[in-house]
Amino acid sequence: MLLSTIFLALPLVAQFGPASPPDPAIERGRQAFISACAFCHGTEATGRSAPDLVRSSVVLHDEHGDQIGPVILNGRPERGMPAFNYTPEQIADLAAFLHSRAAATANRFSYTISGLLTGDAAAGKGFFFGAGKCSTCHSTTGDLQHIAAAYEPVDLQRRMIYPVPTYMDSMMGKKTKPAPPVKVTVVLPSGQTESGVLEHRDEFKVVLKDASGQHRVLNAEGAKVTVDDPLAAHEQLMAHITDRQMHDTLAFLETLK
């Protein structure tokens, strides 16, 4: 119940208004966020091992980086948030990106809650197997076979939008399917290449688990780091589907008991 209360409270976050025209600061901030912050906070800033920043009170109360900046510069090392030596411009870009995410999410959740279970399952089925491309990665007789039995509608909708356990799930002791592992390849300045499952990344180092199960700590300086997150495409897709497609797809998924 706590979760739905939180979702219902979100439309109150109205001060951001609708998304504004594309802003280069947001795009720079997005790139910086993906390379330095996403491994812990999720590519869409909705939380992974570290909290959701889209609904963070620090972000909500921030103006032009005044609240976010000190957290980035000082970190909270004892709680797992590293410090970053960033310029005011870099911080402003990151703040612009996080505000854009908060605005987009507030809008999205405000309509999805009211639209929950109002969709057309047949149209959703068409979308799932057609334009939505869902069936290129999912199967209604495989991984999603009993998906509607596994989650309450509101949770199924949330999993569809952001299929990663959130900070809130762990706070509430919910058992949620973990996110698939993120793969990383690091080409060191010497030309030596290392790859494996990403365990940690910050501006100084990359920690990965290699094929033999060994933890490797690699210096990120001068290295070329390529991250392959199996969820990236899913998240991109969800960020761009319309309200109607969302409602219809959910109605279709609800038939998969």
| Residues that bind ligand HEC in the complex, under the rule CB under 6 A | 36-37, 39-41, 50-51, 53, 56-58, 68, 71-72, 76, 79-82, 84, 94, 128, 132-134, 136-138, 143, 147, 159-160, 163, 177, 180, 200, 202, 230-231, 233-234, 237, 249
Distance of closest approach, residue 191 Cβ to ligand HEC, in angstroms:
27
Q: Which is closer to ligand HEC, CB of 107 or CB of 156? A: 156
- Structural tokens at position 116: 């929950």
- Asked whether the beta carbons of 34 and 101 are under 8 A apart, the reply is no
Give DSSP secondary structure letters for the chain: -HHHHHHHHGGG--TT-SPPSP-HHHHHHHHHHHHHTHHHH-TTSS-SSS--STT-HHHHH-STTTTHHHHHHH-BGGGTB------HHHHHHHHHHHHHHHHHHHHHHHHHHHHTT-S-HHHHHHHHHTTT-GGGT--TTTTTTTHHHHS-HHHHHHHHH--S--HHHHHTT---PPPPPPEEEEE-TTS-EEEEEEEEE-SSEEEEE-TTS-EEEEE-TT-EEEEE-TTHHHHHHHHH--HHHHHHHHHHHTT--
Distance of closest approach, residue 5 Cβ to ligand HEC, in angstroms:
18
Distance of closest approach, residue 193 Cβ to ligand HEC, in angstroms:
23
Distance of closest approach, residue 157 Cβ to ligand HEC, in angstroms:
9
Q: 64 φ, ψ to 5°?
A: 50, 35
Distance of closest approach, residue 181 Cβ to ligand HEC, in angstroms:
10
Q: 58 φ, ψ to 5°?
A: -60, -45
Beta bridge partners of 201: 206
Q: Which is closer to ligand HEC, CB of 71 or CB of 116? A: 71
Q: Which is closer to ligand HEC, CB of 7 or CB of 128? A: 128
Distance of closest approach, residue 96 Cβ to ligand HEC, in angstroms:
11
Q: Which is closer to ligand HEC, CB of 64 or CB of 192? A: 64
Distance of closest approach, residue 30 Cβ to ligand HEC, in angstroms:
11
Q: Which is closer to ligand HEC, CB of 60 or CB of 188? A: 60
Q: Which is closer to ligand HEC, CB of 71 or CB of 208? A: 71
Q: Which is closer to ligand HEC, CB of 15 or CB of 212? A: 15
For residue 49, the one-letter residue type is S
